[in-house]
Amino acid sequence: MRPRLKDVAELAGVSIKTVSNVVNDYPHVSDETRARVEAAIAELSYRPNLSARSLRAGRSGVVALAVPDLDNPYFAELATNVIEAADRRGWTVLIDQTQGDRAKERVVISGIRDHLIDGLLFSPLALTAKDLAGRDEGTPMVLLGERIGTGRSPYDHVGIDNVAAARAATLHLAERGRRRIAAIGVQRTAVAVTGRLRLKGYQQALAEAGVPADPSLVAPVARWGRADGAEAMSRLLDSGAPDAVFCFNDVLALGALRTLLKRGYEVPGDVMVMGFDDIEDGRFATPTLSTVAPDKALIAQSAVDLLAERLSGGTDKAHEVCVPHRLAFRESTDLPGKGHSRTLN
């Protein structure tokens, strides 16, 4: 069917290995032989069989990226960055969606596909430290997002300082004079680490700003989707009358924004809205969405670099990379009369 080294070799009148040497650019091949082989390769339009190569080499050139859900623009943007960074190293990316489901996340780390992939970039949501500990260390794995568990993990990790970021975001709202600052995004599940860290930053900021913490202003959600944000905002408006809301990610914030506008509130006048992630949607919402902007390109690049280092057998101790973030102040937290809502990007 498809041409193999053998077919090329026969056509060129050389041995299989010589063709292999040409394909792999080995030095000691005479110009004349090389030309003949290349002609044969072109004529048959030969392409190496990657399965055979990876069987032989023990490497496939494929890495897996496991994320909860590509529908969430944050993960879509992250995936884009990862694919680009992997591309620069000649790797191909295979994508798994876990839906943040613990069973699926376990499958991802179970190593079922370890022989197909050289490494794993994993952004877990529901996984526990125990799940992780049970993994037999086969293919290298780099964790994205939250650290799991409190102890030392044998895995490389890339994340941001969620507490500091959430604290800064909340402080920003307090500095603009808001006193009833709500939070949307805590989850009731035991494993929602990210949410807890952002809540912690939120609480720290309130204490620091001397704003009394009102538990009724903390709105739990089941998941981090637009509908959840919209629904949580609705509950907050019915009960707590906030004058600002810090949402633990941007899609929650866009959902909350939708509810506010639909119910006739002015944003930022009546209620300021702050998000987290800096997805593109937020930059084109009306009002544009203030947010915490993690350096997604750097997260992806760092993760790929860490994986590469581990693949080349480099380090033994686990690396911790904390990627910087910045705050993007846009219209949704703009003070009236300052008149620069349109100049901020």
Partner DNA sequence: TACCTGTTTTACAACGATGTAACGAACTGA
Partner DNA sequence: TCAGTTCGTTACATCGTTGTAAAACAGGTA
Query: Which residues lie near DNA (CB under 7 A)?
Result: 1-2, 4-6, 14-18, 20-21, 23-24, 27-30, 32-34, 46, 48-49, 52-53, 55-58
For residue 345, the Cα-to-chain-centroid distance in whole angstroms is: 23
Q: Which is nearer to its own copies, 3 or 321 (CB)?
A: 3
**Euclidean distance between CA atoms 123 and 142, whole angstroms:** 9
By the rule CB under 8 A, 311 interacts with its own copies: no
Q: Which is nearer to its own copies, 200 or 258 (CB)?
A: 258
Q: Which is nearer to DNA, 8 or 245 (CB)?
A: 8
Q: How far is the CB of 31 from DNA (least distance, A)?
A: 8
By the rule CB under 8 A, 226 interacts with its own copies: yes
CA dihedral (330, 334, 337, 341) in degrees, to 10, reads 10
Per-residue binding string, its own copies, 229-268, x by CB under 8 A, is -x-----------------------xx-xx--xx------
**Euclidean distance between CA atoms 25 and 33, whole angstroms:** 13
Q: Which is nearer to its own copies, 46 or 202 (CB)?
A: 46
Q: Identify what 280 binds: DNA, its own copies, none; CB under 5 to 8 Å per kind.
A: its own copies
Q: Which is nearer to its own copies, 117 or 308 (CB)?
A: 117
Q: Identify what 238 binds: its own copies, DNA, none; CB under 5 to 8 Å per kind.
A: none
**Euclidean distance between CA atoms 121 and 50, whole angstroms:** 22
Q: Which is nearer to DNA, 57 or 344 (CB)?
A: 57
- Determine contact, residues 213/207, Cβ cutoff 8 Å: yes
Q: Output the six-digit token pair for 303.
A: 């993760």
Q: How far is the CB of 229 from its own copies (least distance, A)?
A: 8
Q: How far is the CB of 113 from DNA (least distance, A)?
A: 12
Q: How far is the CB of 113 from its own copies (least distance, A)?
A: 7
By three-state DSSP, how is residue 94 classified?
strand
By the rule CB under 8 A, 98 interacts with its own copies: no
Q: What is the secondary structure of 122-149 as a DSSP string?
A: E--SS--HHHHHTS---S-EEEESS--S
Q: How far is the CB of 269 from its own copies (least distance, A)?
A: 15
Helices (H), 210-343: 226-239, 250-262, 280-284, 296-311
Provide the terminal-to-terminal Cα distance of the chain, rounded to the nearest Å. 56
User: Looking at the DSSP assignment, which residues form a beta bridge with residue 291?
Assistant: 275, 328
By the rule CB under 8 A, 103 interacts with its own copies: no
For 276-304, b where at least 16 C-beta lie within 10 A, e where not — what string? bbbbebbeebebbbbbbbbbbbbbbbbbb
Q: Identify what 255 binds: its own copies, DNA, none; CB under 5 to 8 Å per kind.
A: its own copies
- Determine contact, residues 256/233, Cβ cutoff 8 Å: yes
- Determine contact, residues 65/299, Cβ cutoff 8 Å: no
By three-state DSSP, how is residue 246 classified?
strand
Q: Which is nearer to its own copies, 110 or 128 (CB)?
A: 110
Q: How far is the CB of 95 from its own copies (least distance, A)?
A: 5
Q: Identify what 32 binds: its own copies, DNA, none; CB under 5 to 8 Å per kind.
A: DNA
Residues in contact with its own copies by the rule CB under 8 A: 2, 45, 47-52, 54-55, 60, 62, 69-71, 73, 76-77, 79-80, 83-84, 92-97, 111-116, 136, 138, 226, 230, 254-255, 257-258, 261-262, 280-281, 283-286, 288, 342
